[in-house]
Amino acid sequence: MVDAHPPAPDEPPIHLPDEVLVHNLLDAADEVIYFKDLHSRFIRVSAGCARVHGRSSPDELVGLTDFDLFGQEHARAAYEDEQRIIATGRPVVGKIERETRDHRPDSWASSSKYPLRDADGTIIGTFGVTRDITDRIHAERALERVVREREEANAELARVSAELAAVLAASPDAIARYGPDLRYRYVNPACERLWDRRAVELIGRTDHEVFPGARFVGPWEEALLRVLAEGLDEDLHLAVDAGPVEGRWVHAALTAEPGPDGTPIGVLASLRDVTETKRAEEELAHRAMHDEVTGLPNRRLLMDRLRHALLGLRRRPGTVALLFVDLDRFKQVNDAHGHDQGDRLLRIVAERLVHAARAHDTVARLGGDEFVLLCEDVDPDQGARAVAERVVAALREPYPLDGLVVESCASVGIVVTTDPDADPVTLLRAADRAMYRVKEAGGDGFRSSLPPVDVT
């Protein structure tokens, strides 16, 4: 073990003159060390001081002042500090100064200056030590800039986050964020209202857990999984069948939430209740295909179903029949009792035709007092005749119309075909002609069409 306190040698310490010590200090030190007289002129400087000012020898600075070396502003401040030290005897310690030298216009130094005294204590000038701290100042400035930029970025992020939170809170659309396990990570107030659930009842749970047994959850979670797997946006409509929101329609836009490497780590869902829009669309579609007075299919829907029925004969041979029904004496009812009573009679006729037809037959109103029954898979001999008999009998019964009873009957024309290539318009016209032959014979009956159309 080495002794921490080695024994002192027998000989006394070396005594060196002050001038030797000062000479070694000034010649070896890299620091800027200087001595000045009462007029702030350099009287001796270190080798480091000479190098800083671009001089090859310290002697080159003797007799100069800071005004010879620095810009006016810095030189004046240094001169005032030194004169104050001379006048008061109080040093200036650790002063941070920006120096302005020709070859270093943005340099910084830490300067400490003291009064220079002679042997009897009289102030005869100043001396100081200056250390270059330019790199430190620049580093501090860079750090301050980074801190300031980070604070500004955090403030901007906080502002944007607050704005986003306000937008999400005020959004009429439901916004939800799902994790890769399909559990809710976030819901906005509109989402709480849409699902009629509080956020605490949704966050951390899947839709299977929130809506057990609901049929819409299956296709919904399948869509979420597709977005997670493929990273592609997806739109879909859902018919919701869950608790208080059952019977509602929702439009959802799904967007993948990318992770650092671009792989989806979640799904953002924007949902909007489109029930009223959906109902309006369905109502418009229904009106386009149904009669306004009776609610029965109209000519457009009848012809569409007739075309499908004929195409069906290609897959499975069979018989298709059209029964063209025209009321007898309907004009007299309208003229005598008004259109309101006429519409009431038409609605009663529609109800009776539906009851007379088979469950899978189509009963349509073409307009005015004309109706058509489309019967598929009928018996080629007696099927259409049996339906026609029920129709004629049903429409022969009296009609109660708001305090009065009127009588009417119907003429029915029948066309039957087994040909999948038959023209729907031709079939309808043939049934119409058969009906007119009944009407010309006095009405209240039915009749089949004549060749070339296949008949019963």
Q: Of the candidates 404, 409, 411, 408, which has an alpha carbon nearest to the alpha carbon of residue 340? A: 404
Q: Compute how many other C-beta atoms are within 10 angstroms of the C-beta atom of residue 28.
A: 10
| pTM of the shown model | 0.51
Which domains are delineated in the chain?
18-132 (3.30.450.20), 171-278 (3.30.450.20), 290-448 (3.30.70.270)
Distance between CA atoms of 137 and 129, rounded to whole angstroms? 18
Helix runs in 94-172, H state only: 134-170
Task: Give me Rg for the CA atoms of the chain.
Answer: 52
The number of angstroms, rounded, from the C-alpha of 78 to the middle of its chain's C-alpha atoms is 63
- Tens of each residue's pLDDT in the chain, 456 residues: 555 566 666 777 766 666 766 666 777 667 789 999 999 999 999 888 888 888 989 899 999 999 998 888 888 999 999 999 999 999 999 888 877 665 666 778 888 999 999 989 999 999 999 888 888 888 888 888 888 888 887 777 777 667 666 666 667 788 899 999 999 999 999 888 888 889 999 999 999 999 888 888 899 999 999 999 998 889 888 888 776 667 788 888 999 999 888 889 999 998 888 878 777 777 788 888 899 999 999 999 999 999 999 999 999 999 999 999 999 888 787 777 777 888 898 999 999 999 999 999 999 999 989 999 999 998 877 889 999 999 999 999 998 888 788 888 999 999 999 999 999 999 999 999 999 999 999 989 998 874 433 333
Distance between CA atoms of 314 and 317, rounded to whole angstroms? 6
How would you classify the pairing of strands 104-117 and 92-101?
Answer: antiparallel
Which residue matches tokens 């009749």?
A: 447
The number of angstroms, rounded, from the C-alpha of 411 to the middle of its chain's C-alpha atoms is 62
Dihedral of CA atoms 341, 346, 349, 355 in degrees, nearest 10, equals: -120
Report phi then psi at 30, rounded to 5: -80, -20
Preceding amide of 172 cis, omega within 30:
no
Dihedral of CA atoms 353, 354, 357, 362 in degrees, nearest 10, equals: 110
Tokens of 423: 């023209």
